[in-house]
Structure 1
Amino acid sequence: MDGQRRDRLVEQVLKCTTASGRAELGQALSSVCVRVMPDVDGAALAFYSGSRVQELVGASDPWAAGIEEAQYTLGEGPGLAAVAADGPVLVPDLSVDEVRWPVFAGAARGEGLAAAFFFPLRVGAMQLGTLGLYRRRPGVLPADFVFDAALLADLISHKLLLQNEKMTGEERIWMETSYQDVNMATGMLAVLLRISLEDAFLRLRAHAFGAGRSVLDVAADVLARRLPLDRLTD
């Protein structure tokens, strides 16, 4: 990578601030990725805790956010694979790799996703999550752009961590997540049905999949008592 390209990437990430609020930081960083990476149609940043709990930090647009949400609801996809491998997962043609994640691939291709490239968000030995880059057409990501994306992931990881350290208590980025309702609904189900948290989450996910809905919407219904618990007992 030449020095000018590197300096441009660093400058673009450093320009992102939380002046408009912490919720906008993730969106701003995701938008930077789309702006500086050629032929990328969307981007999203997600934090992971283990291999299950996912928190959407930000997305460049609703389409990219929907791709991340599909992985969360279905429990499979290249982002989860990147976390498990603790390394990049590059999918230049989702139709070719469909056998690896058949349910996710079918849903994502239905939304227009043709290629996806995931890079770890990591600071030292600490794994934070992933940077996902999405494209509506298939094709290999050129080697130079792979290096650019890896650098972006590194810069964004440090940016998020440093910004988080400047905040206190409830202002911290990872205290405000799109999936907070899911965590609350999972805990509520576990208590009321006297089952483990893992079983409670699997029941939420199974109901969402069977109903063709987002797990976020199902969790909201559980918390609002719009969904009878007897529909989640099987």
Structure 2
Amino acid sequence: MDTDTAPAAPRRVAQAFVALADTLVSEFDVIDFLQQLAERCVELLEVDAAGILVTDQRGHLRLMAASSEQTRLLELFQLQDEQGPCLDCFNGGVAVHCADLRGEDAVRRWPRFTAEVGHSGFAAVSALPMRLRAEVIGAMNLFRARPGAMPEQQIELAQGMADVATIGLLQERALRQSQILTERLQSALNSRVVIEQAKGVLAERHECSMDQAFAALRRHARDRNRLLTELAHAVVTRTLDPAELDHLAARLPGGSPG
């Protein structure tokens, strides 16, 4: 078979999954990644628009991508009004399908949303959860201009794309949190070095034990509402105010300034 005349859909699907799985590159951009997902949904799933909402660090849903401005406004309306299929999908962690947004069931379930969506030209929607096991991090909305159920094969493909994207996002978040944890740990280690140096300075200058020097540092930092690391750094660099240094020295055995 001539490769130029082979079906394009399988190749496009494969390319989409490869792109969605590639989230460990150094230049990974979450916004671009999700925008690409929204655009690939429209291209591959025969839907007219797509919107993606993802949780922030506090667990609040935020609009992250939309295939069109009209979709973006509709998704923002859902968030602001706290009503719509995407919200139900996220809260329940299961897919929500509506074959006719003008039908009685939809109007009764989402009265304000269906009134708003009537101006957009969309007639049907499928909201799919972005979840991994029990963790739900968002939802993907697929809008169609004509009423009718979304074919099962397309739903399976859409959920597969959402699942791969979810794994990618969780992977990126875990990597970012790991980097933050590493930076905080290094900062703590650096702080500990400074504190040990300050203990040594005080112990040598005032002929006391390291434990006594540390206890004096802690009491002084608490009384003056200062960070222990900050106080220790001032002691080591000899930038502590003389009067405050005398006050600190008075806490040491002997109680006399150095």
AA of the residue aligned to 1:26 = L
Corresponding residue of 2:92:
85
Corresponding residue of 2:49:
42
Distance 1:160-1:65 versus aligned 2 partners, 3 A rule: same
**Structure 1 vs Structure 2 CA RMSD:** 2.9
Corresponding residue of 1:144:
153
Find 1:75's aligned residue among 82, 85, 105: 82
Which blocks of at least 5 consecutive residues in structure 1 are unaligned?
A: 172-234
Give the CA deviation at 1:94: 0.3
Give the CA deviation at 1:168: 6.0
Task: Determine helix, strand or coil for the equivalent of 1:110.
Answer: coil
Task: Determine helix, strand or coil for the equivalent of 2:76.
Answer: helix
TM-score relative to the length of structure 1: 0.62
Task: For 1:118-197, list aligned pairs within 5 A.
Answer: 118-167=127-176
Taking every aligned residue pair, what percent have the same amino acid on both sides?
A: 25
Cα contact 2:84–2:110 (8 A) shared by 1 = yes
For residues 26 and 99 of structure 2, the distance between their equivalents in structure 1, rounded to whole angstroms, comes to 33
- Which whole-Å deviations, capped at 9, do the CAs of 1:96-141 have from their partners, x for residues lacking one? 1121101110011112221110011012221111011111221210
Distance 1:167-1:43 versus aligned 2 partners, 3 A rule: same
AA of the residue aligned to 2:148 = G
State yes or no: 1:31 paired with 2:58.
no
For residues 114 and 156 of structure 1, the distance between their equivalents in structure 2, rounded to whole angstroms, comes to 26
Task: Determine helix, strand or coil for the equivalent of 2:108.
Answer: coil
For residues 54 and 144 of structure 1, the distance between their equivalents in structure 2, rounded to whole angstroms, comes to 28
AA of the residue aligned to 2:129 = P
Task: Determine helix, strand or coil for the equivalent of 1:119.
Answer: strand
Cα contact 1:13–1:32 (8 A) shared by 2 = no
Corresponding residue of 1:186:
none
Cα contact 2:13–2:44 (8 A) shared by 1 = no
Higher RCO, Cα 8 Å, sep 6+:
1
AA of the residue aligned to 1:134 = F
For residues 20 and 126 of structure 1, the distance between their equivalents in structure 2, rounded to whole angstroms, comes to 22
Task: Determine helix, strand or coil for the equivalent of 1:33.
Answer: helix
Corresponding residue of 2:68:
61
Find 1:104's aligned residue among 113, 118, 121: 113
Which blocks of at least 5 consecutive residues in structure 2 are unaligned?
A: 1-9, 181-258
Give the CA deviation at 1:165: 3.3
TM-score relative to the length of structure 2: 0.57
Count of paired positions? 166
Which of these two proteins has the greater Rg computed from alpha carbons? 2
AA of the residue aligned to 1:47 = V
Distance 1:22-1:129 versus aligned 2 partners, 3 A rule: closer
